[in-house]
Amino acid sequence: MNKLTLGILFGGASSEHDISCISAKSILENIDKEKYNIVMLGITKQGEWFLFDDDVTMIPNDKWLKSKSLKKAYITPDSKIHGIVTEDAEQIRLDAVFPVLHGKNGEDGTVQGLLQLAQIPFVGCDATSSGSCMDKAVTNAVADAFGIEQAKWCAFTEYEYGKDSRKCLDLAINKLGFPIFVKPANAGSSVGITKAHNEEELILGIEKAFKEDKKVILEEFIEGQEVEVAVLGNEEPVAAEVGQIVAAAEFYDFDAKYNNPASELHIPALLSEEKRNEVRQEALRAYKALSCEGMSRCDFFVTKDDQKVLLNEINTIPGQTSISMYPKLFEAVGVGYTELIDKLIDLAIKRGGII
């Protein structure tokens, strides 16, 4: 069997750089090396691209940057090259790429657009879908158009807030009431999120979110369970088991997600089978509404009082670390990690280069 030459992109100029590196290590340790010639391409926090050909355990904590194997290289948009050009003009043709990049400059359609120009098959959603899911305000607007239920929300830009902060604050307070969740519109891994109980905290939360993005989204507080669904596929996607997060902190922010071992994961979620099936169906509706392909993790709230299923967000490159929900949810339905990686690459190859 001829091996496929697979590019693995990791790191990235993003606040989620470190999580990307951990995800990449996890994938590289679980991928079937009998099927693929692996080409690792790391991106620094400053946006420099390097070929890396060394021990995968060096990838976390940016130890890979000290490797003697490093060579400057990048993926070129030239579709005839169909891959990488190095600093000494060497060309490496790629059969497919797995962009293991979280957050801005990787999960937001930027890298996907580059790969589409190069006509290289790649794992995950295309540029349009990636950008739409990354921008939570766009996600919510599309969900509204498709009749997918979600929390009440509003959004505004840094320019709009600077021009008339009072108008923006009144919009949020009058529409949502306290407490209010404040989030950067374009960020993942729960980065930059604040729960505001009053106007003073709301202002501080908005300022914090603007450090991550020029647009913020504000949502009403939902009392209930926070659940996640892993979805896989192109034209005929399938939803895995439903998982649930019980945050150790007041809410599931970046620190609770990655640094607090007291946060609990329940697979399956603490819901009836009927309600879990409803969540899975809503995940498939959202996945199709946002034109997702390959994979996504769809996050929902299930309200405490009336058990309504409300869309929270869609992550098009979900975490692949040892504690990440996406691979665990498929493992719960009998799809092991190595098989899951194969399926993702196979979906990319079947879709082909996007023109």
Q: Which domains does the chain have, with CATH numbers?
A: 4-123 (3.40.50.20), 132-149+222-316 (3.30.470.20), 153-220 (3.30.1490.20)
Cα–Cα distance between 123 and 171 in angstroms, integer?
A: 39
Q: Is 132 considered catalytic here?
A: no
Q: How buried is residue 177: exposed, middle or buried, by Cβ count under 10 Å (0-12/13-18/19+)?
A: exposed
The response to whether 279 counts as a known ligand-binding position is no
For residue 328, how many C-alpha atoms fall within 13 Å in the half-sphere facing its CB? 18
List the structure tokens of 76: 């070129």
Task: State the catalytic residue, choosing from 14, 130, 132, 324.
Answer: 324
Task: State the catalytic residue, choosing from 14, 15, 16, 130.
Answer: 16
What pLDDT is stored for residue 253 in this prediction?
55
The larger pLDDT score, comparing residue 322 to residue 264, is at 264
The larger pLDDT score, comparing residue 344 to residue 264, is at 344
CA dist 78 to 4, 88, 112, 124, 267, Å?
20, 17, 14, 21, 44
Over residues 237-263, the pLDDT tens digits come to 999 999 998 876 665 555 555 555 667
Task: Give kind and range of the element (H or E) at residue 328.
Answer: helix 325-331
Q: Mean per-residue pLDDT for 186-214?
A: 92
The response to whether 183 counts as a known ligand-binding position is yes
The response to whether 315 counts as a known ligand-binding position is yes
The response to whether 140 counts as a known ligand-binding position is no
Q: Mean per-residue pLDDT for 210-234?
A: 97
Q: Mean per-residue pLDDT for 2-10?
A: 97
What pLDDT is stored for residue 352 in this prediction?
87
What pLDDT is stored for residue 293 in this prediction?
98
Task: State the catalytic residue, choosing from 14, 129, 189, 296.
Answer: 189
The response to whether 30 counts as a known ligand-binding position is no
Tell me which residue has tokens 């058990």.
307
**Coil, strand or helix at 227:** strand
Residue 158 has pLDDT above 90, yes or no: yes
Cα–Cα distance between 163 and 143 in angstroms, integer?
A: 29
Q: Give the angle subtended at the CA of 330 by the CAs of 328 and 333, to the nearest 5°.
A: 115
> How high is the mean pLDDT of the chain?
95
Q: Mean per-residue pLDDT for 30-45?
A: 98
Q: Is 130 considered catalytic here?
A: no
**Coil, strand or helix at 260:** coil
Spatial neighbors of 154 by CB under 8 A, at least 6 apart, are: 171, 172, 175, 176, 217, 218
Cα–Cα distance between 125 and 107 in angstroms, integer?
A: 9
Percent of the chain with pLDDT over 90: 90
Cα–Cα distance between 352 and 261 in angstroms, integer?
A: 40
Cα–Cα distance between 139 and 334 in angstroms, integer?
A: 30
Spatial neighbors of 169 by CB under 8 A, at least 6 apart, are: 199, 202, 203
The response to whether 255 counts as a known ligand-binding position is no
Residue 326 has pLDDT above 70, yes or no: yes
Over residues 91-134, the pLDDT tens digits come to 999 999 999 999 999 999 999 999 999 999 999 999 999 999 99
The response to whether 301 counts as a known ligand-binding position is no
Cα–Cα distance between 270 and 263 in angstroms, integer?
A: 15
Q: Is 189 considered catalytic here?
A: yes
